[in-house]
Amino acid sequence: MQNSNFKYPDTAAFNFVVEHLESRGVELRELSNLAMKCKKILRN
């Protein structure tokens, strides 16, 4: 991905990660809530 032809966002990579997480039982809403809690903790 470190080249001049790489265009962000890479939807194929995003979809791959989302599908893998979902196959493991990880819900995106739970993950986003956890990320926001970590952000609040680290901000202080």
The per-residue pLDDT for 29 is 93
The per-residue pLDDT for 7 is 66
pTM: 0.58
The per-residue pLDDT for 20 is 95
DSSP codes, 8-37: SS-HHHHHHHHHHHHHTT--HHHHHHHHHH
Per-residue pLDDT of the chain (44 residues; tens, 9 = 90+): 566 676 667 788 889 999 999 999 999 999 999 999 999 999 87
Q: How far apart are CA 35 and CA 28, in angstroms?
A: 10
Phi, psi dihedrals of residue 33, rounded to the nearest 5°: -65, -40
Q: How far apart are CA 8 and CA 35, in angstroms?
A: 21
